[in-house]
Amino acid sequence: MTKEEILVHVDHTLLKAVSAWDEIQTLCEEAIENHTASVCIPPSYVKRVSKAYGDKLNVCTVIGFPLGYNTTETKVYETQKALADGAGEVDMVVNLGDVKNGEFPKITREIEAVKKAAGNHVVKVIIETCYLTEDEKRELCKCVTDGGADYIKTSTGFGTAGARIEDVRLFKRYIGEGVKIKAAGGVKTREDLEQFLEEGCERIGTSSALKLLGGQEAGTY
């Protein structure tokens, strides 16, 4: 795969709590120069980025991030606010407490509510695979599908582990038609980037793609 073929699938990401404006600017300028799929940034920067870069960028932001235990009403408002500020895509975290309580219909309803708020905008659902059993992952594939989301996403990058090829393969078996896959966290080499794409991921969320493709070591998500 060429560098260009990889980067069109990358959500160029900076979600550290201490991210400063000059770092966000660098991220955006790199994304424009390298034609990445999007930039994925904190909600507090969405309006500023949208004003600074206009339609040069596809802006993605995060909802209920990184722990997911916000109420559904809060996630819906976050989504509405992010889109009003100029985001084109949102990545929402499921409520992992609901997962552990087996409340999968509630999770599906929450995904439906966020997708309704997002309308035609892309919604990716982060299920944080590092905390889940195989049965829970399968159930969440159904929740994401039934809830009408566009993507299922492996990880926040803030959990105990990131994306694994085994989870991507599981997703492929259990998600419904039309649901795409995003891998995030745990991408450490160019070979990782290529393997996740070859396994069927449409997107990869990482802060390190440009470094990896330039032969450097991975940074933090």
DSSP state at residue 45 = G
Q: At 133, which CATH number?
A: 3.20.20.70
Q: How far apart are the first and last CA of the chain?
A: 23
Q: How many domains does the chain have?
A: 1
Q: Is 218 a domain residue? A: no
Report, as residue numbers or ranges, the catalytic residues.
Answer: 91, 153, 182
pLDDT of 37 reads 98
pLDDT of 215 reads 76
3-state secondary structure of 20: coil
* pTM, to two decimals: 0.95
State the Rg of the chain over Cα: 16
Q: Is 80 a domain residue? A: yes
Residues 56, 58: Cα–Cα separation, whole Å: 7
Q: Is 187 a domain residue? A: yes
Q: Is 89 a domain residue? A: yes
DSSP state at residue 88 = S
Q: Is 221 a domain residue? A: no
Q: Is 161 a domain residue? A: yes
Task: Name the residue range of residue 44's domain.
Answer: 1-212
Q: Is 59 a domain residue? A: yes
**56 with 27: CB under 8 angstroms?**
no
pLDDT along the chain (221 residues), means of 10: 97 97 98 98 98 97 98 98 98 98 98 98 98 98 98 97 97 97 94 97 96 72 53
Q: Is 204 a domain residue? A: yes
